[in-house]
Amino acid sequence: MKKIILSLFVASIFLVFVISSCTSRNEEEYFAVQTVDTTGNNQDTTTLVSYQNDIAPIIAGNCSGCHQGGAQSGGVSMNNYAEFSSKVDRVVVMISKTTGFMPKGGQKLPAAKIELINTWKNQGKKDN
């Protein structure tokens, strides 16, 4: 009888240990999910991407023929900060697609440039 009680005791301690370790893992997952940006409003200021220095040159170099200086393919013009920032959600979708992406008929932008535009968007589309 003593042995049974003892082994039950050991088993329950083991169970408590298992349950509590599960709980803390869930907490980690919970917080990990919290840091993933799904809204595009994450104000990450660690390495601030610049519209003038980082973003505008990518657009000028890859999109200007069809979307700048009077060209408005698909009704989309991106001549300046105001025009570009209002469309950046759609831009990120279009440059990230695997087929039918922008630049239309061209090479897919390098992943680093796509990431740069996405980061700028997530940092709050700053006019910097």
| Interface contacts to ligand HEC, rule CB under 6 A | 62-63, 65-67, 73-74, 76, 87, 90-91, 94-95, 102-106, 109
Q: Which is nearer to ligand HEC, 57 or 74 (CB)?
A: 74
Q: Which is nearer to ligand HEC, 108 or 126 (CB)?
A: 108
Q: Which is nearer to ligand HEC, 32 or 111 (CB)?
A: 111
Question: Alpha-carbon distance 66 to 92, whole Å?
Answer: 17
Contact 73, 104 (CB under 8 A): yes
Q: Which residue has the tokens 């240990």?
A: 17
- Peptide bond before 110: cis, by omega within 30 degrees of 0? no
Minimum distance from residue 35 beta carbon to ligand HEC (Å): 27
